């Protein structure tokens, strides 16, 4: 990280699994560029990225306050239950989505912040932690799940505790949160700050507690384009996120270090 910080502005890129470096021009390229500099190819392996650490890049407006940046995507698991799993993403969007709010033609979206116990106005769904007692901080049903539920009680999508919490504990028990800034002129580039936050020791109960209090939330970016045609195009993006300032709720220790 000391070396990467001293490089200053770095051309946006990604490292493919075959070892080839390619230009990258997308919102998630801050993470891909950092991973490329660390020698990490694009992957979806449920293990820590680098030497036992999960490396999480996040955007900030300045490097003086790395905790004041935008929301950080923690993980992007696909639902393991509910209507989404049973009928597929297209049917899910058609039932629970809504027309694009920026008037993009023939497009349906499913998005918006979903917090536990709060009805989301655009989707009409409420997140419930089924099988978790937030007052006691305990799991009361091992077969429980994070569930998005309609007003009629239908489970639109669900993530079983068993798989999700195991994934979280395995991949995120040690995480390095690295602040970044982006510029597009003279071309797309990223720079990475010298103050990195090292978070250690987490588990599934800490994640559920953060979800119960609203610190962690579900904020998907799912869409269906050319919705009225015979060949609509869907995009899957289920993501759980946390505000940069709330990272400490997920870990036993959080230490800021200068690289």
**Res. 180: pLDDT tops 70:** yes
% of the chain with per-residue pLDDT over 90: 86
Percent of the chain exceeding pLDDT 70 equals 97
pLDDT of residue 64: 83
Q: With 70 as the cut, is the pLDDT of residue 84 above it?
A: yes
The mean predicted confidence, pLDDT, of the chain is 93
Torsion angles phi and psi, residue 250, rounded to 5: -100, -10
**Residue 69 scores a pLDDT above 80:** no
Note the pLDDT of residue 45: 61
Lowest-confidence segment of 7-21, 120-134, 146-160 by average pLDDT: 7-21
* pLDDT score, position 147: 98
Q: Where are the domains of the chain?
A: 2-258
Which residues are within 8 A (CB) of 62 and not within 5 positions of it... i.e. 6 or more apart? 181
Over residues 120-145, mean pLDDT: 96
For the residues 60-85, what does the mean pLDDT come to?
89
pLDDT classification of 43: cutoffs 50, 70, 90: low
50: left (phi over 0), alpha (psi -120 to 50) or beta: beta
Q: Which of the four pLDDT bands, split at 50, 70 and 90, describes residue 46?
A: low
Q: Does residue 171 register a pLDDT over 80? A: yes
CA 183, distance to chain mean position in Å, is 22
End-to-end CA distance of the chain: 6
When pLDDT is averaged across residues 69-92 and rounded to a whole number, the result is: 94
Helix (H, G, I), strand (E, B) or coil at 207: helix
Q: What is the CATH number of domain 2-258?
A: 3.30.70.3570
State residue 11's pLDDT score. 96
Q: What pLDDT does 44 receive?
A: 57
Buried b (16+ CB within 10 A) or exposed e, 34-73: bbbbbebeeeeeeebbeeebbbbbbbbeebeebbebebbb
């Amino acid at each position: 990280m000391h070396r990467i910080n001293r490089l200053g502005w770095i051309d946006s890129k990604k490292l493919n699994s075959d070892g080839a470096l390619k230009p990258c021009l997308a919102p998630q390229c801050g993470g891909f560029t950092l991973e490329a500099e660390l020698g990490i190819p694009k992957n979806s392996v449920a293990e820590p990225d680098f030497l036992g650490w999960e490396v999480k890049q996040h955007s900030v407006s300045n490097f003086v306050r790395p905790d004041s940046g935008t929301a950080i995507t923690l993980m992007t698991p696909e639902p393991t239950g509910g209507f989404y799993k049973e009928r597929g993403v297209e049917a899910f969007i058609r039932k629970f989505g809504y027309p694009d709010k920026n008037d993009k033609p023939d497009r349906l979206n499913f998005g918006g912040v979903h917090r536990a116990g709060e009805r989301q106005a655009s989707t009409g769904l409420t997140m419930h932690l089924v099988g978790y007692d937030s007052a006691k901080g305990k799991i009361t049903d091992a077969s429980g799940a994070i569930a998005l539920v309609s007003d009629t009680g239908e489970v639109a999508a669900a993530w079983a505790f068993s798989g999700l919490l195991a994934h979280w504990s395995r991949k995120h028990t040690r995480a390095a949160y690295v602040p970044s800034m982006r510029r597009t002129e003279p071309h797309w580039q990223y720079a990475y700050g010298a103050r990195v936050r090292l978070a250690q020791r987490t588990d599934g109960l800490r994640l559920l507690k953060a979800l119960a209090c609203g610190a962690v939330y579900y904020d998907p970016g799912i869409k269906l384009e050319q919705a009225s045609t015979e060949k609509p195009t869907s995009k899957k993006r289920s993501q759980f996120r946390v505000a940069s300032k709330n990272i400490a709720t997920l870990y036993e220790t959080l230490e800021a270090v200068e690289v």
